[in-house]
Chain A
Amino acid sequence: MNRSSVSRRQFLGASGAALVGGLAGCSAGEGGTSTDTTSSAETLKIGVLEDQSGNFALVGDPKAKASMLAIEEINANGGIDGKQIETFQRDPQSDNQRYQELTRTAINEENVDALWAGYSSATREAIRPIIDRNEQLYFYTTQYEGGVCDEFTFAVGPTARQQLGIVLPYLVEEFGPDIYTIAADYNFGQLSADWVKVLANENDANVLGEEFIPLSESSFGSTINRIQEEDPDFVMSMLVGANHTSFYEQKASAGLDIPIGTSTAMAQGYEHRRLDGPAMANIYAGVNYMEEVPTESNTGDGGFVDRYFEMYPDAPYLNEEAETNYFSTYMYKKAVEQAGTTEQPEVIDALESGIELGTEEAPEAPEGETIRLDGATHHVDHHMWIMRADEEHNVEAVENRQIPETFLSETAGCNLPENPEQTQYTPVDYYEEAE
């Protein structure tokens, strides 16, 4: 029952901050975490818009927390080029319209030097036109379907081709070639399912069937029956959000005992911690990061996990996207230092020169030895892991290797420094089997 005191403290903290903020009036700028604003030349400002309430709060809250951790660490070590980081942090409540309003506020009124915003792909596509119109440096840090080739957007999370690209071949090898796909019914799920078809073709496997599930759905009886009818060797699941979590408990209680590959479960919403076993048994997540990734810089003494829970002792889990928010803040720091200015075109040039983070120089790469930003595509060559949960929901790493982003760089020919554009490429444009 120690949750209660913890949450009450959080509540008091939040309401106290609100009260103080109210008393201070408009003098202290906005946001509970702003540092001193006496001289703007001595500071730079970062916008952090992540969901802390609404449908995506569960996955968005760790993102906001990890951004604040990186910012606090950087400020404690003298800031960026001697400048302390100020933050403009708001809760868009998982509401895309609210995202659009707050994005405009961040750019036009707060004049942020860089913006981190959004969990879902639908959110990103809702605000990207505003970002592009204002030529705003923007980091999108969720794992996503891939293909965004945009001169102002740095999509630094892993793409579907990277995530599914490590887990799908492994499952074909282990269990056989017949796949059944279930995915959330919106742009992310649809495009991810296309990638399953592309990867199945490349690995001599076949997709027996696919079903797209509305985000509001939480009853999976007929879906489970259909999987049993098709009798695949394994299922690929790209289900998203709190309602879809019910699938795993329901398939376990229906006795559907089949290996499942996923790019969305466990690493984001820590289902293996929230549900009783064996709901997540035999689920293989293809991820760049989750709390259990066994690297020295992550789970070692004083590593990323230690530092995160030292700052947030009551946080439930450190998820995949949190790591991406964290290291991308350090990438931004490195780029500003290299550019010698916070002027956004110069910082973008510096980022495009190919920033690399490693464990030797700083502990910023919890997922592997190094993380490299590809300047041409604004994507990251991630170190990818297959993480498997057992009956008791213990998670172990079964495979890991570096997987570069290849769709934009090799297939679509995205080269932003030479050819600036604001496109999202989709697999349908390049692969017959994705149609």
Chain B
Amino acid sequence: MVNGINLALQFLDSFAFIVLAAAGLAIIFGIMGVINLAHGEFILIGAYTATLAVTQLDLPLVVAMLVGGLITGLFGVLTERVIISGAWPNYVSQRTLGRDIIEPLYDRLADSMVATFGLSLILTQGARIRFGNSINQIATPFGAISYGSFSYSTYRIVLAGVSIGLLLATYYLFTRTDFGMRARATIQDKETAQAMGVNTDRMYMLTFGIGSALAGLTGALFAPVISMQPTLGDQFLVEAFVAVVVGGPSVVLGTALSGGVLGAILATFSNLYGTFIGRIALLVAALIALRFLPEGITGFLEQVRKRRQESE
């Protein structure tokens, strides 16, 4: 028996989860060509920061969540300067050894994976040493809505609204602002952008920071509803990577479309056949997408658009 409202709410829930899980990863991968395997741990930083800000500092929940995003963003900038671009270590080594010691990891997929995987291990185990095997959790706000014999957490619906808002804000930022134009110029042609006076180094740093802040905000938003322990980031990884692969090269549109398609599949199958089948359906959908749309949904749309232009 399918209940229409159940299905709709679950779709919103899955959509929000996939979009929020993938947003930060998509920006960092799509724009910088860096596969951030520490993505889950950036989510962890956001979740722990928000939770501790509420339980230890008594901040209001909304403020705590923004702090979670902000701190993670700053940590992202630090990561970018030290590990990804190596700018800070190189600054020191230029003055002591007279040469660079770190080659930037931009567009070096395999190398960036190894470096960020190491970072993820350090962060997980660091959180375990510093905070123990779990930290106390905050309660979910807003209560529930009821319909018939069913009820649903209001907060999960709020999350869906927030995820759409974040998508719109990111879209606006990268398409309608000066910053977005410079960032896109940097991706398309770094040398020309530099020649036009764009500080590409700074663009990379800020983009990584924004991607990290989004990951942190995701962790902060989900902090009340998931279990607070050092490996909590792992549960976002499957959805995040699948969504990025299925979405394709266009960061915002790709994330939105794959969130929509995969969310619909996940919600429908787990509603009809249970959680286990829902998960299998998600992975099968990813397999099919990879086989027939190797460039992702937006890559496919781009091809269609080009073909139409040629035939005109």
Contacts and interface: CB of A to CB of B under 8 A. Distances in A.
With most chain A CB atoms within 10 A of its CB, the pick from B133, B139, B229, B271 is B133
A255 B224 contact: no
Contacts of B270: 222
B151 A216 contact: no
A384 B238 CA distance: 40
B91 interface: no
A253 interface: yes
A228 B151 contact: yes
Nearest to A230: B149
A219 B270 CA distance: 11
Chain A interface size range:
35 or more
B25 interface: no
Interface string A39-61: 00000000000000111011001
B17 interface: yes
B134 interface: yes
B292 interface: no
B227 A225 contact: no
Given A249-B139, A255-B151, A57 B133 contact: yes
B140 A249 contact: yes
A274 B139 CA distance: 10
Contact of B10 (A53, A221, A256, A316): A221
Interface string A223-248: 10110110100000000001111100
Contact of A225 (B130, B144, B150, B278): B150
A222 B153 contact: no
Given A222-B270, A228-B151, A58 B229 contact: yes
Contacts of B225: 246, 249-250, 253
B152 A276 contact: no
A211 B275 contact: yes
Contact of B153 (A57, A212, A254, A277): A254
A278 to B, nearest CB: 8
A10 B129 contact: yes
Contacts of A55: 231
A225 B229 contact: no
A228 B227 contact: no
B6 interface: yes
B238 A216 contact: yes
With most chain B CB atoms within 10 A of its CB, the pick from A11, A217, A244 is A217
A242 B235 CA distance: 10
Interface in A36-95: 53-55, 57-58, 61
Nearest to B151: A255
B285 interface: no
B227 A242 contact: yes
Interface residues of B, number: 53
B200 interface: no
B150 A214 contact: no
A274 B125 contact: no
A220 B135 CA distance: 21
B119 interface: no
A163 B115 CA distance: 46
Interface string A242-270: 11111001101111100000000000010
B94 interface: no
A269 to B, nearest CB: 8
Contacts of A226: 274
Nearest to B280: A214
B131 interface: yes
A243 B9 CA distance: 22
Contacts of A316: 132-134
B228 interface: yes
A134 B175 CA distance: 67
A213 interface: yes
Contacts of B224: 249, 253
Interface string B150-173: 111101100000000000000000
B278 A246 contact: no
B128 A57 contact: yes
B311 interface: no
B276 A221 contact: no
A223 B278 CA distance: 11
Contacts of A424: none
Given A222-B271, A245-B227, A249-B137, A256 B151 contact: yes
A9 B112 CA distance: 34
A219 B17 contact: yes
B134 A242 contact: yes
B151 A185 contact: no
Name the 9 nearest CB pairs between A and B, nearest first: A255-B144, A253-B140, A276-B139, A245-B227, A255-B151, A253-B153, A58-B133, A222-B270, A254-B153
29 contacts: A7-B130, A11-B130, A54-B231, A58-B134, A214-B275, A214-B279, A219-B17, A222-B10, A226-B274, A229-B1, A242-B227, A243-B226, A243-B235, A249-B137, A249-B140, A249-B224, A249-B226, A249-B227, A250-B140, A250-B153, A252-B139, A252-B140, A253-B139, A253-B143, A253-B144, A253-B156, A253-B225, A269-B134, A316-B132
Given A211-B274, A222-B271, A255-B152, 6 more contacts: A3-B132, A214-B275, A218-B235, A221-B10, A221-B152, A225-B271
